[in-house]
Structure 1
Amino acid sequence: MKKPLYINSHGILTRKANTLQFINEENKKTIPIHAINEINCFGKVSLKSGASSLLMKEGIIVNFFNKYGFYEGSLYPRVQLNSGLVVVKQSEHYLDKEKRCFIAKQFVESIQHNILKTLKYYSKKGKDLDEYIKIIEKEEVSGDINQIMSSEAWIWKNFYSSFNNILKKFHMDKREIRPPTNEINALISFGNSLLYSTALSEIYQTYLHPSVSYLHEPSDRRFSLSLDLADMFKPIIVDRVIFKLVNTNKITEKHFVNDMGFLLNDKGRQIFISEYQKKLETTIKHPTLNRKVSYRYLIRLEGYKLIKHILGDKEYESFRMWW
C-alpha cells in the first residue's frame, strides 16, 4: 500500500536509477518510488531535475510548507486522468450562480453536520457543549454565495469557541492564522495544511480540475477545490486528532516554539503527522459501497460524487458522518 512521505529536515531529493534518494548532512536515505503516493516537505528541500522528472512520470505530487506549517505550493504532475467534458461542466457549475450555490450549500451543510457530530460525541463524554450545539443547530444555510459563506464562518466561529470546553489544557481565544498566536491555533493551521494537501492528492486521482471550486473563490495561486473538500473533513480528522493529542498529553508545551508566532517543533510535527496518518488510514463500513473504506478514500469519493452531479447522473449530497 502506497503512503505519503513526510520530510521534516533540510536536504536534497535526487534520483538514483529508478528510485529516489534524500541527502542531507546527517545521512543518505533511499526512498522506493513505488511505495509513496505523495511527498510533503516541511524542511527546505531542493529537487534535482532527475528526481523531478521521475516524480512527474510516476504522478507523485510534492507539497511544500513553510516553517509555520502553512501550505506554500506543489510540484503538480501532468494530469493523468483528463476529461475535457468534466472540466467544462465543472466550470459551468461555477459560472451558474444557482448551480454554484447548490454545491456550496451542500459543502457547508456537511461542515455543520460533522461539527455537530463531533460536539455531540464530546458532550456524551461529559463536556459542557449544549450552548454551542444549540447555536450551530439553529444556523440555516441558505441564500447567495456570500450568505452561505457567512453561515460557514459563523459555524466555525462557534465551533472554535467550544474548544476551551473540550481541551484539558491550552486556551483558544479566537482563530488567528498568520502567524498562529497560541498552541491551538498552531495545531489547527498545521492540521488544516496537511488535510488540504491530502485533498489535493485525492482530487488528482479523479477527472476534476483542482482550481475550479464552489465555496472558496477560485484563485490564481491555489488549488481551491482542495479547500472545499477538505473543510468537510476537518471536524472529524484534524480537530479530532488535536483533541486526542492534547487531552492525552502526547502534545505538550515542550512541542512548540514561539518564533514571532507559535509553531510545532520537529518532534511535535512527527507526533502530529503520525496520529494524522493513523486517522486517515482508519476504516469504516460504507453504507452504499457495502465495504470498508478509509477516511482518506472518503475524500476521493466526494470527488466522484461531484463528477456524477456536474454530468447530470446523480444529484450531489455532501458527506455526512453516519457513525
Structure 2
Amino acid sequence: MRPLKNTLFVQTQGAWLNKQGENVVMNIDYEVKGRVPIHKLEAIVCFGQVSISPALMAHCTDNGITITHLNQYGKFQARVEGAVSGNVLLRREQYRIADDLERTQMICHSIVLGKVHNQRQVIRRYLRDYKQQLDESTVDCLHAAQKRLENGLNKILTAENLPNLLGREGEMASTYFSVFPNFIRNSDYRFPKRTRNPPTDAVNALLSFSYTLMTHDYRSALETVGLDPACGFFHQLRPGRPSLALDLVEEFRPIVDRFVLSLINKRQLSKSDFKTEENGAVWLKDDARQTFFKAWHDRKQQTIYHDWFEETVPFGLLPHLQATIMARHIRGDIDAYIPFLWK
C-alpha cells in the first residue's frame, strides 16, 4: 500500500480496505498492515485480489475519490466513481489540445526528448558495465552513437513543427538501433535491424512483445486517471488505436530494451523457445511465455527512483505515475509534461 501524490496504490494480494474513522485501513488476514488519511486521497488503485468495504466505497463516491480495479498484471477492469466527476472536463481539454498544433508539439517535444535521453542512457550504461571487455573499434562506435544522440537532443529542441520532429526522432532511432547488436552478448541471437509487423527474428519478437505489454499497462494507467487512451498527440489518431498509450510508451522503449537484453544475455530464453511461421514471422512459444512473464513480473517489482515524485517506487507503477503527470499537465496544474528520464 503506497500513497503517491494523493493516489493510493494497493498491490498486496488478499488485501481488505475499509474505513475506520477518517482513515483507509488495509487488513491482511484480519491484521492491520497500513493506514492512510482519507482526506489526502483523490484516487485508490487496486491491483488484483483487493477488496473494498461498502462503507469505504460509499465514502469515496460521495467525496470524489475514484476507485480503479486492475488485474494483477495491470490490465484495466473497472472504475468506480460518484455522480459528479471531473473526467469529462479533463477529456474535453485533452481533445482541445489534440486540435491545437502548438500545444500538441510542446507535449511531443517532451516525449521525444525523454526517449532520446533514455536511448543515450542505454549506451552509457553498457559502456560503464562492459567497456573493459570491448575492442577499441566497438568502444569508438558506441561513443560516436552516444555523441550523435546528445547532439540530437539539441536538434529536437529546435524542431519547428511536428513533421520535422518526427524526422529527427526517426534519425535518432536509426542511430540507436545501428549499435544495438553490440549490446547482445549471447551468440545464439542476431539483430540485423529493427523489424515489426511481423518481427522476423527472436530479438525483434521479444522487443515487440514487451512493447505490447507496456502499451497495455499504459492504456490501463490512462483509463485510471480519466484520460482517453485513444486520443494521442505524437501518434496519429486511428479507430481502435491507443494513440496516447503509444505516445507515453515511447520514452520507456529503451528501458524495456534493457529488460529484453537481460533476458537474452542471461540466457533465460533459448533459440528453441521461438517458432517461425511460413511468412517469416517469429514468435515466442506459449510455454516460453511463462518464463517471460515471470521475468516481466519480477522486473515490475524492482524499484526505481522517480525524480518528480521524489520517491523510490516499483517499476510497475511508472506508467501510472507518468499518466498522472500527463493528466495534471492537461488539467493545467503543471506547465509541461515531464517525461521519465532514466539515470
**Shorter-normalised TM range:** 0.7 to 0.9
How many residues are aligned here?
A: 265
Confirm whether residue 159 of structure 1 aligns to residue 176 of structure 2: yes
Deviation string for 1:136-161 (max 9, x for gaps)? 22211122111112222222222222
Does the Cα contact within 8 Å between 1:213 and 1:224 map onto a contact in 2?
yes
How does 1:270-281 map onto structure 2 within 5 Å?
270-281=290-301
1:235-261 residue CA offsets vs partner (Å, 9 max, x unmatched): 11x211111111111122111111131
Structure 1 residues 77, 286: CA separation in 2 closer, same or farther (over 3 Å shift)? Answer: closer
1:136-155 aligned at under 5 Å gives the runs: 136-139=149-152, 140-141=155-156, 142-155=159-172
8 Å contact from structure 2 (residues 300, 314) kept in 1: yes
Corresponding residue for residue 183 of structure 1:
202
Which residues of 2 match residues 1-323 of structure 1 at below 5 A?
Answer: 2=11, 36=48, 59-60=69-70, 77=78, 83-124=87-128, 125-126=130-131, 128=139, 129-139=142-152, 140-141=155-156, 142-168=159-185, 169=187, 170-236=189-255, 238-260=256-278, 261-323=281-343
Q: Aligned-pair distance for 1:36? A: 2.0
For the residue of structure 1 that corresponds to 2:304, the secondary structure is strand
RMSD: 2.7
Give the residue type in structure 1 aligned to 2:172.
Answer: I
- 1:160–1:172 CA contact under 8 A, matched in 2: no
Instruction: Please give the per-residue CA displacement for 1:25-82, whole angstroms capped at 9, x wherever unaligned.
Output: xxxxxxxxx8628xxxxxxxxxxxxxxxxxxx9854799xxxxxxxxxx987578576
1:160 is paired with a residue whose SS is: helix
TM-score of the superposed pair, with normalisation by structure 1: 0.74
Consecutive unaligned residues of structure 2, counting only runs of 5 or more, are 1-9, 14-45, 50-66
Which is further off, 76-85 or 178-187? 76-85
Question: Percent sequence identity over matched residues?
Answer: 24
**Shift in Å, 1:225:** 0.8
* Secondary structure at the counterpart of residue 285 of structure 1: strand
The answer to whether the 8 Å contact 2:303/2:312 transfers is: yes
TM-score (norm 2): 0.70
Pick the structure with greater CA Rg: 2
Partner of 2:6: none
- Give, in angstroms, the shift of residue 134 of structure 1: 1.7
Residues of 2 paired with 1:244 and 1:199: CA distance? 22
